[in-house]
Amino acid sequence: MMNTPEHITVHAASGRLSLTWNSGHTQWIDNATLRARCPCSTCRRLTHSGQAARIEPCVAIVDVQPMGYGVQIVFSDGHAQGIYPWDYLAGIA
């Protein structure tokens, strides 16, 4: 069975993303970590070439759009290309 979250919330005070999986487990992911782990082709290319974009620690999550197999996350630095599949999110510690 696919691991899918029942609830996705952006915690207002900390800016962290909270995912409650259908297993009942709640996972917190730091917003700057999410931005640094953006799976879009541009960010992956930068990471692979050792030139990862500098991430502001204060980067915030502006919007979260469900995409069926995951979520598109819009960040306060204007980056919104990343679509994070559920399995990928589950694998971010």
CA 47 to chain centre: 16
DSSP 8-state symbol, 69: S
* Using rule CB under 5 A, residue 17 touches Zn ion: no
Query: Is residue 43 at the binding interface for Zn ion, with CB under 5 A as the rule?
Result: yes
Minimum distance from residue 46 beta carbon to Zn ion (Å)? 8
Beta strands in 1-93 (DSSP E): 5-10, 17-21, 26-29, 61-66, 70-75, 83-85
Interface with Zn ion includes 40 (CB under 5 A)?
yes
In the bound state with Zn ion, the residue whose beta carbon lies nearer, of 10 and 74, is 74
Query: Among 38, 59, 89, 90, which residue sits at the site for Zn ion (rule: CB under 5 A)?
Result: 38
Pairwise CA distance, residues 90 & 70, whole Å: 11
Q: Report the interface residues with Zn ion, using CB under 5 A.
A: 38, 40, 43, 81-82
